[in-house]
Amino acid sequence: MSVSVEDVRHVADLANLELTAEELPRMAKDLNAVLGYIAQLNELDTSAVEPMAQVGAVLGVKPVQDGETLRRDVLKESIEREAVMAEAPESDGRFFKVPRVIER
């Protein structure tokens, strides 16, 4: 199976990426090369193998280790809102401002 320029355009759309006319064929070529290499995974029969999503699966660690890696659920101070909002490209101090979403 090979990736066409149209496929790249579709995936770029899904990922909210804007690609230029020059980037599209280059990315299609690179993706085909890497996916071709990845295809060797099909040499392995994994029908009876559990997927490993986390390292804990190998260690036999339960997702929540009886709560021991979770902090206690108590109120604590968190980062000040002003410090967070100060980093926003555009803000009124309380909310993030973005271009108009709904046309009237």
Partner 1 sequence: MAGGKKMSLQSLTLTEARSAVVEGRVSAAALAEQHFERIAEVDGEIHSFLTLTRERALAQAERVDAAARAGEALGPLAGVPVGIKDVLTTRGVETTAGSRILSGYHPPYDATTVARLEAAGAVVLGKLNCDEFAMGSSNENSAYGPVKNPRAMDRVPGGSSGGSAAAVAAGLCVASLGTDTGGSIRQPAAFCGVVGVLPTYGRVSRYGLIAFASSLDRVGPFARSVEDAATVLEVMAGPDELDATASSHPVANYVAETRKGVEGLRIGVPEEYFGEGLHGEIREAIERVLDGLKGAGCSLHKVSLPHTRYAVPTYYVLATAEASSNLSRYDGVRYGLRSKDAATLAAMFRNTRDEGFGAEVKRRILLGTYVLSAGYYDAYYKKAQQVRSLLARDFVRAFAGVDAIVAPVTPTPAFKLGEKTSDPLQMYLEDIYTVSASLAGICGLSVPCGETSDGLPIGVQVLGKYFDEETMLRVGAGVERNQEG
- What is the closest distance, in whole angstroms, from the C-beta atom of residue 82 to partner 1 in the complex? 9
Phi, psi of 47 (to 5 degrees): -60, -30
Residues 12-51 as x/- pattern, contact with partner 1 by CB under 8 A: x-xxxxxx---x---x--xx-xxx-xxxxxx-x-x--xxx
Among 33, 30, 32, 24, CA closest to 5:
24
Contact between 58 and 52 (Cβ < 8 Å): yes
Contact between 91 and 85 (Cβ < 8 Å): yes
Question: Applying CB under 8 A, does 88 fall inside the site for partner 1?
Answer: yes
Residues near partner 1, by CB under 8 A: 3, 7-8, 11-12, 14-19, 23, 27, 30-31, 33-35, 37-42, 44, 46, 49-59, 65, 68-72, 79-80, 83-84, 86-90, 96, 98-101
